[in-house]
Chain A
Amino acid sequence: MLDIDIEGCLGDFSYEVAFRTETGITALFGASGAGKTTVVRMLGGLARPARGRIVLDGRTVFDRERGIDVPARRRRIGHVFQEPRLFPHLSAGSNILYGRRFAARKASARAIDHVVGMLEIGHLLKRYPRNLSGGEQQRVAIGRALLSSPEALVMDEPLASLDTRRKNEILPFLERLRDEARMPIVYVSHSVDEVARLAQGMVVLSEGRVHATGPVEEVMTKLDLRPMTGRFEAGAILEGTLVAHEPESCLSRVEVGGQFVEIPAIDVEPGRRVRIRVRGRDVVLGLRPPEEIGVLNVLHGTVEEVVVETGTYAEVNVRIDGQRINARITRRSAGQLGLAPGKAVYVMIKTTALDRVGAARRETGSAG
């Protein structure tokens, strides 16, 4: 567990950040300039907070009042930076083993094999960084951080310097890492999609302050997040179980609280939990189930809250069997439908809008 409570200022930027994380990925989310990188640099010991303390698994690595400031090299917090920062004079293989020689508890040969296998970098180990693509370099950098036997991992926008294709190449590895790593991972990002796909917990930073914190599903559905996520990206997450693949139509079928959602085919075995991110602007609401309309996904739910803005739009929260999604519709249609809390509605979502799906974290000990 990672427990952070720091404050201070750097020039005219002041920060006051407190949160705690468990095993699994906690996203540190916010617009650029919100202080995300400052926080993780302080976590890793690369910068020093003016006041406060940082505790990792009961071990205090920083405490201003008690005069504790464990240097970065002894914090055992692995760092994956935005740029891979591989050592150019060492092969990929030597790069991943770099931290091992300094670690008190050396990664075993099995651990090395495991990390190499998980990241699928076995065939790259003899090459030098300049002969690797950006995505390959970042995978090697992740391996390097993991094999330094850290007790926590910090990833500072590891995908930000990659193009969309390379991002999609790495995301599955990050999902695997999340499922297998038994340590807290702080994942800095300003991408809603990445956070929705990877993280369990979420800390929203805004101008050096914690704006919201909690499980991703909860925080993402909160309306007050919109100024940071941007109107276009605001949305919610539905969790469901993948029940079947339909290879003929290249679709996968997901069960969400007894109802079904069709999504573009994904490579996840049936029975696993998946997360579907639904953007508010992709949702249509109606009072009757649609007929002769080419929409595959129709779910029924209950209006929970209607937030009418002064402009064109209204934001409607709809509860679907214990989960919540939000719909961004025009103020006029909200009025025409007479939407009010408690009203039953049909929620329609185009399958093509559901391309942001990832496997949910496999809970240790459970079958699915």
Chain B
Amino acid sequence: MIGLGADGGSALALSLRVALFATLLDLPLAILVAAVLARGRFPGRAALNAAVHLPLVLPPVVTGYVLLLLFGRHGPIGAPLADWFGLVFAFRWTGAVLAAMVMAFPLLVRPIRQSIEAVDTRLEAAAETLGAGRIARFATVTLPLALPGILTGAILGFARALGEFGATITFVSNIPGETRTLPIAIYTALQIPGGEGTAMRLSLVAIALALVALAATEIVARRLRRRWVD
């Protein structure tokens, strides 16, 4: 694939697959948590907020190690998941998805939360007088109006998942074709004498992907904003 070599091509394909799955699986949970943080008033709200942001401030190696302990083949969560559902994370690409989900989660939650907070609660009250229940109000008023923030969050999360390195390599190691994502492939190439050329090409691909993601966020958000606000 475009001068990346078979190994580089598979790393790129794997990275895109992992990032896509991680973002799509993260989204519903991130919207729920963002809504709870934006609108909910309950004890433990601050604790939830801290837990969401933890992966952002923790060394990624620590996050990877915790995932290994919890979701490993013999971990307290990993073992029953493997026994009951045959869902194995350790040294599989599914583990890379899980690591990316955890690391990207705070980046999804933050913009979604901000955009939900920005939705005028008086519109929700109006919807209530028109007969809409809590869930219907959220689905038909809050969510569509928060769409720019949701898309921003999704794209930021996708980009973060694409770049995930530390937690992934700690949790699921570096297996070509299975867990060797783009950043890990770059790192591996740099460990091999004469691998600088490959590292450079893969890095350029990573930079291009990041730029496309940022531009996409901007365009989508601007277009949505123009539709509703003057």
Contact = CB atoms under 8 A, between A and B. Distances in A.
A144 B130 contact: yes
Contacts of A145: 129-130
A57 to B, nearest CB: 17
Given A83-B122, A128-B228, A88 B130 contact: no
Given A73-B132, A102-B131, A88 B228 contact: yes
A42 to B, nearest CB: 13
B129 A44 contact: yes
Contacts of A77: 129
Contact of B127 (A78, A98, A130): A98
B129 A72 contact: yes
A277 B144 CA distance: 47
A93 interface: no
Given A89-B145, A89-B228, A130-B229, A73 B123 contact: no
Interface string A203-236: 0000000000000000000000000000000000
B218 interface: no
A76 B129 CA distance: 7
Contact of A74 (B127, B131, B145, B229): B131
A46 to B, nearest CB: 6
A88 B132 contact: no
Contacts of A83: 122
Interface string B116-152: 0000101101111111110010001100110100000
Given A81-B122, A87-B141, A89-B144, A102 B228 contact: no
A89 B123 CA distance: 11
B227 interface: yes
Given A87-B141, A88-B229, A89-B145, A102 B130 contact: yes
A88 B227 CA distance: 9
A98 B136 CA distance: 11
B230 interface: yes
Interface residues of B, number: 22
Given A87-B141, A130-B229, A148 B130 contact: yes
Contact of A73 (B122, B129, B141, B145): B129
Interface string A45-81: 1100000000000000000000000011111111101
Contacts of A160: none
Given A83-B122, A88-B229, A130-B230, A99 B128 contact: no
A78 B128 CA distance: 10
A83 B140 CA distance: 20
Contacts of B129: 44-46, 72-73, 75, 77-79, 145, 148
A103 interface: yes
A79 B144 CA distance: 22
Nearest to B224: A89
Contacts of B147: 89
Contacts of B125: 46, 72, 85
B131 A81 contact: no
Interface of A: 44-46, 71-79, 81, 83, 85, 87-89, 98-99, 102-103, 128, 130, 144-145, 148
13 contacts: A46-B125, A73-B133, A74-B131, A81-B122, A85-B125, A87-B123, A87-B126, A98-B130, A103-B131, A130-B228, A130-B230, A144-B130, A148-B130
